[in-house]
A and B are shown apart, each in its own frame.
Chain A
Amino acid sequence: MTLLRRVPRRLIQLACFVGALVLVWPVLPLAVAPRFFQEVSPFVSLSSSIAARSIDLGAILALVVAMVSSLKKRWFCLYLCPTGFLLENTNHIGMRRTRWWAKLPPVGRYVTIITIAGAIFGYPLLLWMDPLCIFSSPFAINKATNPFSVALVCLGLGVLVGATFVFGMAWCVRICPLSGFQDMLFATRKALWMKLTGSRADLVKISGTADSLRVKAPALKFSVARRVFFAGVGGAALGLLARRAGAARYRNSDTLLRPPGAVPEDRFAGLCIRCNNCVHACPTKIIHPDTGREAGLAGFGAPVVKFDRDYKYCLETCNACTDVCPTGALTALPLAQKNKYIIGEALVDNNVCLTALGKKECDACEHACPYDAVKITWDESSYNAYPVVNDKCVGCGACEVVCPTMPGKAIRVWTQKPA
């Protein structure tokens, strides 16, 4: 710590910022690097581990960060957080450099409590507010294929930078769930320490000089505890509601397709933190952030698969998206398993199929299918041939993208329905 103090804080921040860029813009040969970046956040790791009922390697990093944060208040924000660095510098040139936000309640803590309570029921409600996810999201811009996707991947960080420029550091200090989570860790550690040592020191000790980030947190009072309780119950209830809504959404949708490895739809929109790692990882650019058309407000910004580009489908040689998900919203699947994951099901519209209408010598779908799932089948009774899709279909979209019919493809991937 003394060593850290000697080195100018800005320099460490800058180093961490550059490190973050290296990780999320995978210049490293390690394709899964972006995932470890978000898993450093204890807020993400804890909530997603609870929600997905599983722990992985990244959680260990998060544990270290959490332990240090409980000893040194907002250590992560001050030194490591690249979003913090960006916003602090924005604030320096911003319009409102006063500390007006000190009056605001500690929203970040309630966000954390709501989210963790939701996570216990499988739906971490506000996990997408994590600053590391917001930071990495715009880096998927090189895989954005339309203006909507560009807007969506840049939205989070854009809003934060804009708001900080106009309103000052309110996000970092009061709203950010990661800083709220650190505050709670610190306060809990203090309270425990007090109980064990009988020390009567203030619950929160302010260290250092008046820096925009170093502020006195309100002491934990009974009314606060009550608010915490309500936030917890509310988070749990909202989480359960959101799961029901998600399941219903999937039942009623015909076109909602999630990337391979996606957990069932009732939990997906909650577990997904909109980091856009999967969008970034996809070599064929078929994963897009949802504008809300497919899965409504709850699914806003979460990845959906769309086969809207020429000859681009979910490759049988690729499982990149499943490898980079920091929360397990996309389960990490080895290639063989990924090739069995059902994204959707291909269905044939014989009203426009060139073969079924005797228009063309066309068996493009049969040729294209990497899984031998489409066969042009001769039907003796109607004396005609039709593409027939068998159980091997995983909905990779290879048939849809080669189907030459206009307007509208004769073979398309639809949301899978139980038989």
Chain B
Amino acid sequence: MRRSIAAGGLFAAGSLAPISALAGQVGGQASPTQTAGQGEHETGSHTPATIAGDKVVQPRREVPVLHKTSVLVVGGGPAGTAAAFCAKRMGVDVTLVERYGYLGGLATGGLVLGIFPLYDRSNKQVIYGIGEEFMKKLDVMKYGIIDRWKAPTYPTIDAEAFKFLLADMVLDSGITAYLDCWGVDAILDGKGAVRGAIFESKSGRQAILADIVIDCSGDGDIYAAAGASFEKVKTNIGLISRIGNIDEVDMAPGRGSEDPEHKAQIAKPSEGRPSKGRVNDFNGHAGNSTPAPHVNWLNMRGPVGDALDVADLTDLELKHRRGTWSNVEKLREKQGNEQVYLTETAPQLGVRLSRLLDGCKKLTNQEIRSGAKFKDVIGYSGAYANAPEFQIPYGSLVPAKVENVLAAGRCISAEFEVADITRLIPVCWVTGQAAGLAAAMCIQNNCKPRNVNVAKLQELLHQQGAYLG
């Protein structure tokens, strides 16, 4: 039964106190596994939006509290799942909320299957911890992951294997999870500190109350709603797809170049001097091998778009699917590729960056290129292009002003050029793990994220197998 109270009613002040009071009442119905009775008739919302003059207004209303938790992780992508598992292992109560119907975010639904960047300049792996745990579990699954320990070639995972793995782990972990549930707003107390988040789902608009919120939404939706300052950036938005009946391999050193079986399938460089500014169709060597035999994942860079604009997103969702289909048709025209088919386009757009937090520490391009060392290092990113491997400080996860919220994943506090590296899958695992542990420490020590004992955090990270240099 849905409880709705009209604006100006019992809890007009809208502060934390009355909502907490309510939470006690509704806590019992908040199990995600609870099934509704058959054939139950309900009336709709009592507070629909109405037209007032030339504006659409929605009356002030009470939001039912779905759940109450210690650590709330918003977003179940690489950073969110890492944060949730790591916090839960510390023995605190964790709730994980994800907008799609599966976990893994861009690593599964986005088909970003390459686990990259993982190595330093000398091809030594510098990302371990929870990410390495995931990969170890995938190692023993058939068709789960390929190209492990073949630096500088990066491992490639299978999306379905990883979805299975995360579902399996969540079910066994004791984490309370809500899927198909969008984080849309923050809940603040009277001092402006975050006390939870508002979600939209098929159950309507509901609140989850929490002591600490980890914003792993990718777009920083929760910290932005809570009033933290951020930088908005626009970059390319693509749509990855998988194509079947193709045998094409990596051209990076390692796998493709050494394996005689694959040598014949590697794209050959053009003879002589390439012409200037030429664009061409795929020459038959499209995409990169995945654990599934004869299936490649095909990356797409896409045009620059605004990831926070629904019109841009819609436009790209439609155009990208049309473009992918026609590119696969063109690919079929190449000799040897006649039987290639489009297995799937990714369910999620490949949004690279949208909001970048203004944190206690903004990680700068200059710092990562000069090999800056941080006292509050929580992990490393691998080397990428001409940037060497670099340290990520804890300060990049903590908003400069707003309390009780941590950021992890692609929306952390870093300059654009840096965020373009920290947004990648294994680096999201690193920031997620650190944010999860820090949040658990906040609960256990009853402190704010910015006051977390960094030495203790580093010790915990170390215990969980993370690499800190």
Contact = CB atoms under 8 A, between A and B. Distances in A.
A360 B240 CA distance: 11
Interface string B190-215: 00000000000000000000000000
Interface in A381-418: 381-386, 388-389, 398, 401-402, 404-408, 410, 414
A350 B283 CA distance: 9
A interface SS class: loop
Contact of A358 (B251, B274, B287, B424): B287
Interface stretch (B9-17, B97-105, B219-227, B300-308): B300-308
Contacts of A294: none
B410 to A, nearest CB: 13
Contacts of B275: 347
Interface stretch (A66-74, A243-251, A363-371): A363-371
Interface stretch (A77-85, A88-96, A279-287, A372-380): A372-380
B251 A352 contact: yes
Contacts of A367: 384-387, 417, 420
Interface residues of B, number: 51
A364 B420 CA distance: 11
Nearest to A388: B277
Interface string B211-254: 00000000000000000000000001000000000000011110
B429 interface: no
Interface in A314-351: 345, 347-351
A378 B114 contact: no
A1 B116 CA distance: 73
Contact of A352 (B267, B299, B300): B267
Contact of A254 (B236, B272, B384): B272
Most chain A beta-carbon contacts within 10 A, residue among B116, B323, B385, B424: B385
Identify the interface centre among B257, B280, B287, B420: most chain A CB within 10 Å of its CB. B280
A411 B420 CA distance: 21
Which of A347, A379, A384, A404 has most chain B Cβ within 10 Å? A384
Interface residues of A, number: 45
Contact of B280 (A382, A402, A405, A419): A382
Interface in B288-337: 288, 298-304, 323-324, 326-327
Contact of B273 (A347, A381, A404, A410): A347
A404 B252 contact: yes
B282 A384 contact: yes
Contact of B286 (A358, A368, A406, A407): A358
B274 A347 contact: yes
A129 B36 CA distance: 96
A404 B256 CA distance: 12
Contacts of B276: 345, 347, 389, 419
B303 A378 contact: yes
A312 to B, nearest CB: 11
A376 B267 contact: no
A384 B327 contact: yes
Given A349-B274, A388-B277, A361 B424 contact: yes
Q: Which of A354, A360, A376, A414 has the most CB of B within 10 A?
A: A360
B283 A351 contact: yes
A226 interface: no
A381 to B, nearest CB: 8
Interface of B: 112, 114, 116, 121, 152, 236, 250-253, 256-257, 266-270, 272-283, 285-288, 298-304, 323-324, 326-327, 384-387, 417, 420, 424
Interface of A: 254, 311, 345, 347-352, 354-361, 363-365, 367-368, 376, 378-386, 388-389, 398, 401-402, 404-408, 410, 414, 419
Given A352-B251, A386-B278, 20 more contacts: A254-B273, A348-B274, A349-B270, A349-B274, A350-B278, A350-B279, A350-B283, A351-B267, A351-B283, A357-B287, A360-B116, A360-B288, A368-B385, A378-B302, A383-B327, A384-B282, A389-B276, A402-B385, A406-B252, A407-B257
